[in-house]
Chains A and B, each alone.
Chain A
Amino acid sequence: MRRKTVALVAVALVSFTSGCTSLQSSATEVGGVRKTDDRSVRDGGTLTVALNSDPDKLDPTLAQTLVGRTVFAGMCEKLYDIDEDGTVVPQLAASLPAVSDDGRTVTLTVRPGLKFSDGTPLDAQAVVTSLLRHRDLPGSARGTELAPVRKAEAVGPLTVRMTLDHAYVPLTGVLADRAGMVMSPAALEKYGKNFTNHPSCVGPFRFVERVGGDRIVLEKDPNYYDADRVHLDGVVYKPIPDGNVRLANLRSGDLQVGDQMGPVDVRSALTEPELQLFNSPSLGYQGIGLNVGNVKGLGQKPGKIDTPIARDVRVREAFELAIDRDLINEVVFQGMYEPACGPISPQSAIAPGVEPEDCPGRDVDRAKKLLKEAGVKTPVKIELKTSTTPEQGRVGQVLQAMVKEAGFDLSLRPTEYATMLAETDAGDYDVFTSGWSGRLDPDGNVSNFLKTAGAMNAYGLGDPEIDKLIAEGRSVADPARRTEIYDALTRRVQAAHALIYLYRQKNYVVASKDVAGIQVYGDGLVRLKNAGYTR
């Protein structure tokens, strides 16, 4: 009965705020997973792909955004990649790396005969140059990921040896992302800081031009080692932030692929006979962060905050018990995402996380009991900072309705992205919507966020047991043991109730029906190497 009431309130709220948006209950037609299709394609043609924002710098060392990674997928291959199942496979490397028994020496060999888009050869020295640049360049976004690499050297024409400060199991996963992209040393020398405007790597396509805010143009690269299997003449990436506009352009045929489509737009797209849907589960998560000890800002030791929610874990537990994850997914996302209650996706090939059905359910009675035990005055007043997107606004409204029943007075403060980052990093908040696009290795989803004084631990969480588990997870190579470690870590984080995981997005890509060969894997990137127009 209570659940029904909350559901009705939530539906009414969302219907009211979303105007004429129809909320269809059934999600069966998008419930499955479709990562690619293998229809045969013809050679030729250009594909226009809509991204949901303009990528930042096209320099693998400095790049920060998910949309940037999608563009890199077209022109900058990595030492390693993931396959359809999320398993790490060699890409520019000839095989998986050889790791010494103590885990401190990693040797990898690159494929022979590789050429950069500028025609220069890719050899071991080029790999070393890129690795060191990723690690050392001021402002590098790869510095933290590669910090354990003490030394990288070419020990043969195609062989690279890395010496690590300590065993670092996530390294292979890290090299399956931007830190594993190898840049042309000749281009780096020629363009220096301006490499971003003349990127040169190894990939199915090469950079042609970029008009800021409008387009990034790539063309088929004849130097590419697998050029025979590349069918398109080129790709144009266009940033189109608004989902309605992206969909209108897909309908009119001005676009062939729409990346990162939201649930409402996907629903509309499904009514179009000329459009098709690809999707894959995400490796990331979305949730809410609670300020339990961030008094001095990021990277600082946690301190004491005198609010009920920071002071008493029972209050935080009550807050979480008042939340119905399934209902959020149904009401806000039309059932098209997945409820989540841990940092690691159950789809992770390395250490699968908690399945949605194993997430704790809503229990308002217990929540009320906990608040009573904690002796706090109800309603407990809390402010939730959300981003200004309509979806996040609706998540906030549904949460507001849910937790009210348990005894919380949740006020919402929509805050523009850059301001929210500054405020939450500084600890100027009670609760905020917090999300992460996800990394291949589970370590990428936990260490920076949950470690005491971690680089992105905006929650002020400080738990030596969590720190110990993070360190163990980084150094143990055995997959079964790693799964155990991350299971224990997840339970510990859940018990702290400082970061309440709510749902996991799905990567939805809408494309014209006459396009085939697109690959949409768990990392959320749209791979176009084998894409083309159907015969």
Chain B
Amino acid sequence: MTKYLLTRLRQSLITLFLVSIVVFAGIRALPGDPALALAGEERSPEALAAIRASYGLDDNVVVQYGRFIGHALTGDLGNSSRTGLPVADAIGQALPVTLELAALSLLLAIVVGIGAGVVAAVRRGKPEEWLANAVALVGLSIPTFWLGIVLVLGFAIALPVFAASGYVPFGTDPVDNLRRMVLPAIVLGSGLAAVVMRQTRAAMLDSLSADYVRTARAKGLSQGSVVGGHALRNSLVTVVTVLGLQLGHLISGAVVTEQIFVLPGFGKLTIDAVFTRDYATLQAVVLCTSAAYILINLLVDVVYSVIDPRIRLGGAR
């Protein structure tokens, strides 16, 4: 296990290094001059030259990359060229917001998705299955932006239970935090819950028709034990794979949700950085997101072995 983890860690670092090059080059391949975007309305050739010199945009791309990596390795991600705020601070402030949003959405997806999937499989052909399938289809089909606005109109304006926007850290005021995070979590998690529901249902149907379940039933185990202890546990491997893959989508999906609910998260930070050609912020944000993807995949591999002891990582026995 340790050997496997070390190998994966080494591979991850190489991937991250390659990603940093792709990100750096990709951002510079974007059309549009960051100096122009910064200068805004009042751009004179002198002001543009000063901006380029000030941010080192005049330097050779290799020199710029070296400077970026050198600083990044010491934890200095630079300052935003637009706001002047340290990028590390911006990420430090945005990351908890997106992580909380992703965690709540994931929780929602797990509880609703797995619950509905199990019910749909166990009650196959019954109205419960139809209902679960219909809800899943709606969850998959509704555009995030529309759902967000409708939920705000319904539950923040007509029936003011939740707040329409903004973020308050959980540590500052847990109640206000949840008042502001529940609607975004529903918006972001609804699509994932639908995917999880369908995967769980399919995996559960397979499991429920497997020999070991028939054996368990023959041994006289209760329905709860058969479904929860045997069928569901074996179905979870598929579900965890889907969750791992979708978690990355949750982070990218957060872009729209954060715009609707004005959450100062990673998505909003990324979008703002793209439109203002804020290289320093964009590089750091994309690099952090890549690191998160790599980490999540590693964690998913580890979770496999916990759920299903038959899976042994790295071929170890």
Contact = CB atoms under 8 A, between A and B. Distances in A.
Interface of A: 54-59, 62, 64-65, 138-141, 143-144, 193-194, 196-197, 210-215, 238, 240-242, 244-245, 248-249, 251-255, 298-299, 416-419, 421-423, 425, 436-437, 448, 455-456
A62 B79 CA distance: 15
Contact of A245 (B36, B46, B90, B165): B165
B37 A417 contact: yes
B149 interface: yes
A5 to B, nearest CB: 35
Contact of B47 (A141, A196, A252): A141
A500 to B, nearest CB: 19
A346 to B, nearest CB: 22
B28 interface: no
Contacts of B275: 416-418
27 contacts: A55-B83, A56-B82, A139-B47, A143-B44, A196-B84, A197-B84, A210-B85, A211-B264, A212-B90, A212-B264, A213-B90, A240-B262, A242-B260, A245-B152, A245-B259, A248-B153, A248-B164, A252-B152, A252-B156, A254-B156, A254-B165, A418-B30, A418-B33, A425-B36, A436-B41, A455-B45, A456-B44
A138 B149 CA distance: 44
Contact of A57 (B30, B83, B163, B261): B83
Contacts of B269: 212-213
Contacts of A214: 93, 167, 262, 264
Contact of A299 (B44, B82, B85, B90): B44
Interface in B248-272: 259-262, 264, 268-269, 272
Contacts of A436: 41
Contact of A252 (B31, B46, B163): B163
B149 A455 contact: no
Given A59-B84, A213-B272, A248-B152, A139 B51 contact: yes
Interface string B73-87: 000000010111100
B157 interface: yes
Contact of B32 (A139, A249, A421): A421
Given A143-B46, A194-B84, A421-B33, A213 B156 contact: no
Contact of B84 (A57, A255, A455): A57
Contacts of A253: 160
Contacts of B50: 138-140
A242 B84 CA distance: 24
A213 to B, nearest CB: 5
Contact of B83 (A54, A255, A421, A425): A54
B54 interface: yes
A53 to B, nearest CB: 8
Contacts of B53: 138
Interface in B47-68: 47, 50-51, 53-54
Interface of B: 30-34, 36-47, 50-51, 53-54, 80, 82-85, 89-90, 93-94, 149, 152-153, 156-157, 160, 163-167, 259-262, 264, 268-269, 272, 275-277
A140 B51 CA distance: 9
Q: Among A212, A251, A419, A437, find the residue whose CB has the most chain B CB atoms closer than 10 A.
A: A212
Contacts of A437: 41
A421 B37 contact: yes
Contacts of A419: 31-32
Contacts of A240: 165, 262
Nearest to A65: B40
Contacts of B264: 211-215
A249 B42 contact: no
B106 to A, nearest CB: 23
Nearest to B44: A455
Contacts of A55: 83
Contacts of A194: 84
B232 to A, nearest CB: 40
A52 to B, nearest CB: 12
A238 to B, nearest CB: 6
Given A196-B84, A212-B264, A418-B275, 19 more contacts: A54-B272, A57-B84, A65-B40, A138-B50, A143-B44, A197-B84, A211-B264, A212-B269, A213-B268, A238-B166, A241-B259, A245-B259, A245-B261, A248-B156, A251-B157, A252-B163, A418-B276, A421-B37, A456-B44
A56 to B, nearest CB: 5
Contacts of B89: 212
Contact of A422 (B32, B85, B164): B32
Contacts of B165: 238, 240, 245, 248-249, 254-255
Given A212-B269, A238-B262, A418-B275, A141 B36 contact: no
A45 to B, nearest CB: 17
A139 B37 CA distance: 13
A144 B42 contact: yes
Nearest to B37: A418
Contacts of B268: 213
Nearest to A57: B84
Nearest to B270: A213
A469 B261 CA distance: 50
Nearest to A68: B40
B149 A244 contact: yes
Contacts of B37: 417-418, 421
Contacts of A255: 165
Contact of A210 (B31, B83, B149): B83
A303 B165 CA distance: 52
B85 A212 contact: yes
Q: Among A59, A144, A422, find the residue whose CB has the most chain B CB atoms closer than 10 A.
A: A422
Contacts of B45: 298-299, 455
Contacts of B85: 197, 210, 212
B78 to A, nearest CB: 13
